[in-house]
A and B are shown apart, each in its own frame.
Chain A
Amino acid sequence: MVKHAKPKSFYDEFVRKGGPGEKNTHYCPGCGHGNVHKLVAEVIDELGIQDKTVFCSPVGCSVFAYYYFDVGNVQCAHGRAPAAGTGVTRSLEDGIVISYQGDGDLAGIGMGSIMHAANRGEHMAVFFVNNAIYGMTGGQMAPTTLVGQKTLTSPFGRSAGGEGFPLTMCEIINTLQAPVFIERVSLANAPRILKAKRAIRQALVNQVEKKGFSFVELLSPCPINWKIEPVQARKWIIDTMEPLFPVKNFRNLEEAPAKYEKPVPVSDADMKKLFNVEKNISVTPKEAHIDEQLVKLAGFGGQGVLSAGVLLANCAIAEKHNTSWLPSYGPEMRGGTANAGVIISDGQIGSPLVDNPTFFIAMNGPSLDSFETDILPGGMALINTSLIERKVERTDIKVLYAPLTEIAQEAGMAAAATVAGITMYALATGVIAIDTIKQVIPLSIKRKSLVEENLRVVDAAAEYFRKNLEKG
């Protein structure tokens, strides 16, 4: 029996690498990635998870991990392996997700990604290879570069004052609640490497057992960029890195503090039921053909201008007309005036903008001031005299004056003043039947407790219209 055979989770030959040397890795002499790769591959073998594993490789020296690992492989953008891994783990019922990252990738450009993936407790094992330098790009300063350490971009040594202090990722991740396992290990010598394997194993066992986010930081040598001999490099880890990056377990929970409740699938029929936002209403259209209606409703926020517009559009659909509804929105809607344009037509509706309304409902003074000049000559305006004292100056339009707010208030719901407005629009133009409005209200109004009040407002508005306005 061969005692030290190559793990079967490695390819026999690195065909994806191409070119000569398909049995050698691309890593430099003395590099720690070879150790970590082998430990991970061994554990994958031992746990029998080769088929299930999806390995997310980073940008950095281990960008080519897919040359070696005979598992599913996703090569990710710089720093984003935890985000891509999130996508993978949320898609696979039973997959084992590994995010393998270096110090620039994880603690520099990808700091946001790793923090949020850890904070969500994503089901993945993160193997964070910390060698205190950027390797792939040729030896620049990393977020974990030590104070005083010379690199190509800190040629006089990292200065804490100018470049900050090295980031200690285990300690940072340990401030979060969701992770189940956090450990820092070292590759400085054989006993440490054996300990490292135990941590890697625990992180992957946690995935098999669906426990949650597991983070292993590995202090790893980079003799080429540290510009020292490989043996010296291992010693440098112990002497220089370990004092700042203590090798220890930070957390090992039996279970995650919170569980992700996977949504339950529904049948196609139930899904369609869910989407039936407005129940169907069957109404015989009052008029066979109508002239295009360009209706604008305007008032202040809270007067229900937008929802009254929706009610009108729903009535139009119930009577089998084409319709469109377009609101003013954004900061304007939140603070000051709001307006909605509703078009009702039997032809195709081109522009959804109501630039020049055929019917304008002014709920307050500023709205009348804003839009009076826009009303189409020959059009109509309905003025809420409860809040507007002045008369309309235009003489080329028909004007209806009605105390909409008071009518609604007396019927029991001042907030439905715009519904009174819609009712009067329907009576003044004959485009929509009052009966349609009353049928649509129960289906169009979200708060069912207010249906009765709204219906009373419709009756009161209709009564006022017939008494005071119809003759005009």
Chain B
Amino acid sequence: MDKQLIKGNEAVVYGALLGGASHFFGYPITPASEIAHAAARFFPATGRCFLQAEDEVNSVNMLYGAASAGARVMTASSGPGISLMAEGISYIAGAELPAVIVNVQRAGPGLGNIWPEQGDYNMVVKGGGHGNYRNIVLAPFSAQEMCDFTYRSFDIAERYRMLVFILADAYIGQIMEAVALPDEVKKPVRQDWALYGDKESRENLVSSILMNTELLSTHNWKLDEKYKKVAEEMTEWEEYETEDAEYLFVAFGVCARLCVSALQGLRKMNIRAGLLRPKTLFPFPSKRLDELGKKIKSAVVVELNNGQMADDVELAMRCAVPVLRYNWMGGKVPSTQEIIDRAAKDLRG
């Protein structure tokens, strides 16, 4: 298909349906609501299930149930809704169910406001609920990636039996860009662990309770091994002008877009800046950051939060170089010029 002008939030739904999503359990919240709007139109129109739940606590548990029955399930929300889902997310991890959740971040804490922020980084990337577990976290920075990442997420979720988060922000949700939709329509595949209400699957049990300490400990270590495997197999990132970079910007989502523009300005001022943009936040491109950390003078982490990813960058580079933190909160998004001016001041001399 040729490219079409599609809003980031709507691109999620096209990507989901082409990726074989069968169920969407939603609850509206700004700035993620267009995903539910498009899902309400297109899931039933393509023979799939859309249901508006009574709240996010229940939408995530509908995901849990439908995933147990082998469905390709998803929901979408924003910070306050994701907070409500925390318990269910932990259960999904414990029971090793595949599911997809899109978080179009708004500003917090509390009700905050509906403008873009990346303050849910820790909640989503580190787990969000109780216990030892991880989610796979994809960080799109364009409408095209909202589509592509969602499209791929169901396969990834099933491959590892994990929850895949699409961690976007209000701008990436609201932006309209030319999007090329994927060609192949994916089909759900029967899972040998799921419950299909038939003889072959009768023995299956979906559960996260293991009362015996030995059993739970074994389960915990098994999950931990799986997360290591995920890190080896699917860490993704993109680099811009890092070959000769003395200064490395690190940013995801809309901030990565701002940095792409800022690089041009800085290069014109003969400041050799590069950018690493993690496309997966878990797993995190720690190894690559470690390598680059040995070649640069300093790193600059640009985020719409209080420095949540900067902690991970610092850890990955093992404090080899100073890590500058450029942070905005409350829905404030800097202009490209603001980043250029600040970097020129900090990095020169």
Contacts and interface: CB of A to CB of B under 8 A. Distances in A.
Nearest to B201: A72
B328 interface: no
Given A330-B30, A330-B114, A355 B336 contact: yes
Interface string A247-269: 00000000000000001111010
Interface of B: 1-6, 14, 17-18, 22-23, 25, 30-31, 42-49, 51, 53-55, 57-59, 61-71, 73, 87-88, 91, 95, 114-115, 170-171, 174-178, 181, 185, 195-199, 201-202, 204-209, 212, 215, 254, 257-264, 333, 335-337
A310 interface: yes
A278 B14 CA distance: 14
B207 A66 contact: yes
B260 A86 contact: no
A392 interface: no
A266 B6 contact: no
Contacts of B257: 349-352
Interface in A132-168: none
B88 A77 contact: yes
A350 B181 contact: no
Nearest to A374: B335
A116 B62 CA distance: 12
Report the 9 A-B pairs with minimum CB-CB distance, sorted nearest first: A87-B65, A95-B197, A265-B47, A350-B261, A84-B65, A87-B66, A350-B260, A83-B61, A91-B69
B5 A313 contact: yes
A94 interface: yes
Most chain B CB atoms below 10 A, which of A74, A94, A356: A74
A228 B273 CA distance: 77
18 contacts: A50-B202, A51-B197, A54-B195, A72-B197, A72-B202, A75-B209, A77-B87, A83-B57, A84-B64, A87-B23, A87-B65, A91-B22, A91-B70, A268-B185, A271-B46, A313-B5, A331-B114, A350-B264
A130 interface: no
A75 B206 contact: yes
A73 B69 contact: no
Given A66-B205, A272-B1, A54 B337 contact: no
Most chain B CB atoms below 10 A, which of A91, A265, A275: A91
Nearest to B55: A112
Contacts of B91: 76-77
Given A91-B69, A274-B45, A74 B207 contact: yes
Nearest to A67: B205
A91 B205 contact: no
Given A51-B198, A83-B59, 12 more contacts: A16-B205, A53-B197, A75-B206, A84-B61, A86-B51, A87-B67, A90-B49, A91-B22, A271-B185, A329-B170, A350-B260, A352-B175
A81 B102 CA distance: 23
B47 A263 contact: yes
Contacts of A331: 114
B54 A112 contact: yes
Contacts of A86: 51, 58, 62, 65
A355 B334 CA distance: 9
Interface of A: 16, 18-19, 50-54, 56, 63-64, 66, 70-77, 80, 83-88, 90-96, 112-113, 115-116, 263-266, 268, 271-272, 274-278, 280, 310, 313-314, 317, 322-327, 329-331, 348-353, 355-356
Contacts of A80: 57-58, 61, 64, 88
Interface of B, helix, strand, loop or mixed by DSSP: mixed
Contacts of B171: 326, 352-353
A384 to B, nearest CB: 24
Contacts of A353: 171, 258, 333, 335-336
Contact of A92 (B3, B43, B196, B333): B196
A277 B197 contact: no
Contacts of B48: 263
B2 A56 contact: no
B62 A329 contact: no
B44 A323 contact: no
Contact of B1 (A95, A264, A276): A276
Given A54-B69, A87-B68, A326-B171, A280 B195 contact: no
Contacts of A77: 61, 64, 87-88, 91
A324 B208 contact: no
A91 B23 contact: yes
Nearest to A317: B178
A323 B63 CA distance: 36
Nearest to B69: A91
Most chain B CB atoms below 10 A, which of A50, A80, A274: A80
A90 B195 contact: no
Nearest to B54: A116
B185 A88 contact: no
A351 B260 CA distance: 7
A90 B51 contact: yes
Most chain A CB atoms below 10 A, which of B55, B65, B335, B337: B65
B68 A84 contact: yes
A324 B260 CA distance: 15
B61 A266 contact: no
Most chain B CB atoms below 10 A, which of A92, A96, A313: A92
Contact of B202 (A71, A85, A113): A71
Contact of B5 (A53, A73, A92, A325): A325
B177 A75 contact: no
Contact of A325 (B2, B3, B175): B175
Most chain A CB atoms below 10 A, which of B3, B58, B67, B202: B58
Contacts of B66: 87-88, 90-91
B176 A325 contact: yes
A318 to B, nearest CB: 10
Nearest to B30: A330
A87 B209 contact: no
A87 B62 contact: yes
Contacts of A71: 202
B176 A324 contact: yes
Nearest to A19: B212
B175 A324 contact: yes
Nearest to B58: A83
B333 to A, nearest CB: 7
Nearest to B337: A355
Contacts of B23: 87, 90-91
A434 B74 CA distance: 43
Contacts of A272: 1, 181, 185
Most chain A CB atoms below 10 A, which of B5, B58, B87, B262: B5
Contacts of B30: 330
